[in-house]
Structure 1
Amino acid sequence: MLRALDIRDMLIIDRLDLSFQPGLNVLTGETGAGKSILLDSLGFVLGWRGRADLVRQGADQGEVVALFDLDKGHPAHAVLAEAGLPGGAELILRRVNTADGRKTAWVNDRRCSGEVLRALSETLVELHGQHDDRGLLDPRGHRALLDAFGGLDAPRAATRTAWSGLATARKAVAATQAALDAIRDEEEFLRHAVAELDALDPQPGEDAALDLKRRTMQGAARIRDDILRAAQLLGNEGAEGAMGQAVRWLDGAADRAGGTLDAPLAALHRALIELAEAQSGVDHSLETLDFDPLELEAVEERLFAIRALARKHGAAPDDLGDFAGGLRDRLAALDAGDADLARQQADLRAAQAGYDAAAGRLSAARATAAAALDTAVMAELSPLKMERAEFRTILTAADPGPDGRDTATFTVATNPGAPAGALNKIASGGELSRFLLALKVCLTGQDSGVTMIFDEIDRGVGGATADAVGRRLADLAQNGQVLVVTHSPQVAARGAHHWRVHKQVTDGLTVSSVAALSEPDRIDEIARMLAGDTITDEARAAARKLLAG
């Protein structure tokens, strides 16, 4: 609820302190007295976009402070928490506009942006009037209003959940399909490469082993002759035979040498043993170097094949095994992906069916709510002297989304047989005011904590119709707070609290002021609204009658 509004140096207001009350608050005054300035100032502190030249002439800056009372469940608390601003039972908005156009805002003495102010304003105030494109006249908000009227939170939440599941299923199918498409583009290459690698089956370390064997075999022809000559020199025709003869000669002479040949004979025997080991090693080397030329060709072919595959795939020869494993994994993913895709497509069909069912239930509930709203509005139009008018909520198909597959549009036909159309295009000023009021009465449930402002919504009506408008506004204010700017005495008489806006010229300066009216003052103000500047006894009597109800 708006409890107070303090305005300093805004347009023709130099200083103004207003305290508002629950129920129906009415503001009256002559045309041009400054009633619209109050709304401009309130819109300014709420962050609404409006006129730029708000600072009073000669002042350095203008300032507006608005004080709201918030109950514990008020939606403004969530906005404050998200913005990191202090909360509480009181909400103080303050905004300053300097003469050079700079604007600065505070929420509970903490600096904030205009965006935060506007987010708060949506939870605090509703403005309704003939040019209110933010509220009932904006078709973009009609579906949400219809849902609120019909109490469709549950089917709408179910539809949003189903839409979220559908979106998730679609993303999963799309991702899997994209991955499969990418793999399929190279499937032929993958299968050929894996077959080629499997056929060759390169092993870690094989490249180095083959290279060593190849080099050894290539060098064998050059060194085998030298080793063979050495073997001959070490054998019976060479060192072994000579040493054997020497041992036999010395053995024959040893008995006669008095022991002097024992040591040489022992050394020769040892030398023969070492010589035998040397011969064995040389023989083994000859056996190793004894190879088939076809084997060399086979070694070279495999070595070159391994290195060719390594170059082809940009991998080290020893990594070809792991590389082949990676290719096999991608082929396995392709084979498994088809099964995954089939499963995900089944999930998608189920999610689509779930969404279609939820959206269908929501559409049916909206159709029921639309019929109920049409009946309720038509019932409200009759007391407002518009019993011949027709109000219809039109539901049309829309692109599927989280809130279903419908759009809702409030339409009117002011006379039977006349074509229906949008509220602000078909109805005249007075008719539009009454349509808006009837709609608001039907759409407003229990106290939402929102202050409703009606800006001359009674324009163009009078007499019994204006009285009906006043009664509807009073009913609307029973569960909350309503502010009405009005020129209608019938509406003003229904107010629980009454302020008069007055303009006067002092020392060449025009200043607007607002005064709370006592009961006698209120009689005079309503009499002025009835009779004009000259207030007669008859006008006062009529004013008393209006106030008496």
Structure 2
Amino acid sequence: MLRGLEIRDLLIIDKLDLTFAPGLNVLTGETGAGKSIMLDALGFVLGWRGRAELVRAGAAQGEVTAEFDLPAEHPAHAVLEELGLAADGELILRRVNTAEGRKTAWINDRRASGEVLRRLSDLLIERHGQHDDRGLLNPRGHRQLLDAFGGDETEAALTATREAWRARSRARTALAEARARVEALAAEEEFLRHAVAELDKLSPEPGEDASLDAARRMMQGAARVREDISRAYQAVSGDGADGMVTDALRWLDGAAAGLGDEMEQRLTGPLEALTRAAEALGEAEQGIAELSDALDFDPGELERTEERLFAIRGLARKHNVLPDDLAGFAEELRTRLDALDAGADTLRDLDRAAAAADAAYAHAADALTAMRRAGATRLDQAMARELAPLKMERALFRTTVEPGDAGPEGHDAVAFTVATSPGAPPGQLNKIASGGELSRFLLALKVCLTGADTTRRTLIFDEIDRGVGGATADAVGRRLQMLAQGGQVLVITHSPQVAALGAHHWRVEKRIDGEITTSTVVPLAPEDRVDELARMLAGDTVTDEARAAARALLSAQ
């Protein structure tokens, strides 16, 4: 509920503090007194797009502050929580416009953008008038209004349709992605089959490149040193040094037998040294023989080793991977090939799932359509009952539910249409009805839809009673009074019948002081209300008869 509105230096308002109350709040005043400025100011603080020049002439800036009561269950709390703002039952919006055109806004003393203000505005205020294109006249919102009128059953059908749409979207996405994958794989099928066959034939193993390279190097080295090792073996074997040392030992042993003891002892050292040399040469001969055996390989083995090593490295270069990654790369290609081979079965399964999701969505959307058509019939009947007291019993209101684009909220296009006289073709509200008729259509529609409105926004009606009077104006006022029960309605009116039904009454006045014109709003006491209603009834000259008629209007409420 809008609790207060403070306006500073805006248009022709220098300073204005208003306190509103629950129920029906009426604002009256002569034409040009500035009633529309009130709505301009409220629209400014709520982020509505309106006049470009708002700052009062001579002022540095204009400022508007709006204070709202915010119950705990109010949907505006969700927006505030999303922004990290707290509102413990009170929401204060403030917006400043400098003379240079810069606009700055605050929500509970926290800076905010105009877009955030507009999001909150949709939850706080609902404005209706003859040129209202944000509310009931906007065809884009008619389907949502009809669904709200339909109640819990329609809401349940709408929820089921949304869930079916999400399931349908997931199924279609999965099918499309799988089809794209299969098509991409099919485009490279020839490559996959050739590459997998080539890799399977070679069957490289991780680490094989290093082991083959080491073996190749060893065999290449062996070929180069084999002759030297053979010569070394000959040099230390029986035909070489070993044989010569053995001969030397035999010769010295024979010589020792022909010498005396003294000379024989002198041969002991040389004999021992030669014995050690013979043993060392034997060890060297054995080691060289073993090395020679190790270097003994089939010359064809080197050729085969090089061929496999070069084949592995060639495949690695061809596929731009490391030799040790060839085995993993082969497995990856094999997996893609398997997916291609299984693609037909996968696509068939996903296609069946998508068809089932389509059918489930169609079933849910058809059930929602049935709910909407039933709700449209009830709404049309309710509108017929409301239009009769508003002297529009010959007018025809119809809610059309036609096939539309499929989406999460069904496949219906909903529109409110009217025909103002029997036999006339129906059309959109704002294109068929005249000003006064349009006002009454909107009021009747709002009365019918109020039962479905659980947000309890403040309702503003801007001269919605234009062009009506007498009993019709009284009927308009009675419906505004009914809409205000348990909530808050602000109405700008020129109708005394409507004004007399207000629980709270303000008069908008224009004051001229020299060359300065200002507008202000005055709360009216009971006797002041009599004078204001009398003015509205009689015009500039207020007579006793007009005052009596005004009292009669007030007493009849």
TM-score by length of 2: 0.90
Selected match of 1:506 from 499, 508, 513 = 513
Q: Are 1:503 and 1:513, in contact at CA under 8 Å, matched by a contact in 2?
A: yes
Measured in 2, the distance between the counterparts of 1:206 and 1:91 equals 74
Alignment partner of 1:160 is 2:158 = no
**Farther off after superposition, 507-516 or 263-272:** 263-272
Alpha-carbon distance, 1:317 to partner: 3.3
User: Which residue matches 1:9?
Assistant: 9
Structure 2: where are the runs of 5+ without partners? none
Relative to structure 1, the CA distance from residue 406 to residue 221 in structure 2 (aligned partners, 3 Å threshold; closer, same or farther) is closer
The one-letter amino acid of 2:363's match is A
**Farther off after superposition, 92-101 or 420-429:** 92-101
**Farther off after superposition, 451-460 or 343-352:** 343-352
Q: Are 2:237 and 2:281, in contact at CA under 8 Å, matched by a contact in 1?
A: no
Instruction: Give secondary structure in 1 for the equivalent of 2:485.
Output: helix
Alpha-carbon distance, 1:285 to partner: 4.9
Measured in 2, the distance between the counterparts of 1:318 and 1:57 equals 82
What is the 5 A alignment of 1:242-391? 242-257=244-259, 258=261, 259-260=264-265, 261-287=267-293, 291-334=297-340, 341-391=347-397
**Farther off after superposition, 416-425 or 297-306:** 297-306
Alpha-carbon distance, 1:212 to partner: 5.0
Alignment partner of 1:545 is 2:552 = yes
Alpha-carbon distance, 1:320 to partner: 3.0
Render the CA deviation track for 1:140-190: whole Å, top value 9, x for unaligned: 111111111111322222222222233233333333443444344333323
Relative to structure 1, the CA distance from residue 353 to residue 278 in structure 2 (aligned partners, 3 Å threshold; closer, same or farther) is same
User: Which residue matches 1:186?
Assistant: 188
Stretches of 4+ aligned residues off by more than 6 angstroms: none
Render the CA deviation track for 1:494-531: whole Å, top value 9, x for unaligned: 22222222223222322223222233322222222222
Instruction: Give secondary structure in 2 for the equivalent of 1:9.
Output: strand
User: Which residue matches 1:49?
Assistant: 49
Alpha-carbon distance, 1:115 to partner: 1.8
User: Which residue matches 1:32?
Assistant: 32
The one-letter amino acid of 1:385's match is K
Q: Are 1:447 and 1:480, in contact at CA under 8 Å, matched by a contact in 2?
A: no
Q: Are 1:130 and 1:429, in contact at CA under 8 Å, matched by a contact in 2?
A: yes
RMSD across aligned positions (CA):
2.7
Alpha-carbon distance, 1:204 to partner: 4.3
Alignment partner of 1:488 is 2:495 = yes
Alpha-carbon distance, 1:93 to partner: 2.1
Relative to structure 1, the CA distance from residue 309 to residue 419 in structure 2 (aligned partners, 3 Å threshold; closer, same or farther) is same
Alignment partner of 1:536 is 2:538 = no
Measured in 1, the distance between the counterparts of 2:403 and 2:84 equals 40
Measured in 1, the distance between the counterparts of 2:24 and 2:279 equals 129
Relative to structure 1, the CA distance from residue 75 to residue 229 in structure 2 (aligned partners, 3 Å threshold; closer, same or farther) is closer
Q: Are 1:70 and 1:449, in contact at CA under 8 Å, matched by a contact in 2?
A: no
Instruction: Give secondary structure in 2 for the equivalent of 1:131.
Output: coil
Measured in 1, the distance between the counterparts of 2:66 and 2:219 equals 100
What is the 5 A alignment of 1:74-473? 74-151=74-151, 152-214=154-216, 217=219, 223-257=225-259, 258=261, 259-260=264-265, 261-287=267-293, 291-334=297-340, 341-445=347-451, 448-473=455-480
Alignment partner of 1:68 is 2:74 = no
Instruction: Give secondary structure in 2 for the equivalent of 1:136.
Output: coil
Alignment partner of 1:525 is 2:532 = yes
Measured in 2, the distance between the counterparts of 1:218 and 1:277 equals 27
**Farther off after superposition, 494-503 or 256-265:** 256-265
**Farther off after superposition, 286-295 or 470-479:** 286-295
Instruction: Give secondary structure in 2 for the equivalent of 1:479.
Output: coil
Render the CA deviation track for 1:208-230: whole Å, top value 9, x for unaligned: 54445545555666655554455
Render the CA deviation track for 1:241-276: whole Å, top value 9, x for unaligned: 444443434444444543534554444444444434
Measured in 1, the distance between the counterparts of 2:514 and 2:120 equals 40
The one-letter amino acid of 1:372's match is R
Aligned length: 549
Measured in 1, the distance between the counterparts of 2:15 and 2:218 equals 108
Render the CA deviation track for 1:65-104: whole Å, top value 9, x for unaligned: 2222222212222222222223122222222222222222
Alignment partner of 1:477 is 2:473 = no
The one-letter amino acid of 1:373's match is L
Relative to structure 1, the CA distance from residue 224 to residue 24 in structure 2 (aligned partners, 3 Å threshold; closer, same or farther) is closer
Alpha-carbon distance, 1:458 to partner: 1.0
Relative to structure 1, the CA distance from residue 158 to residue 212 in structure 2 (aligned partners, 3 Å threshold; closer, same or farther) is closer
Alpha-carbon distance, 1:36 to partner: 1.1
The one-letter amino acid of 1:421's match is G
**Farther off after superposition, 431-440 or 101-110:** 101-110
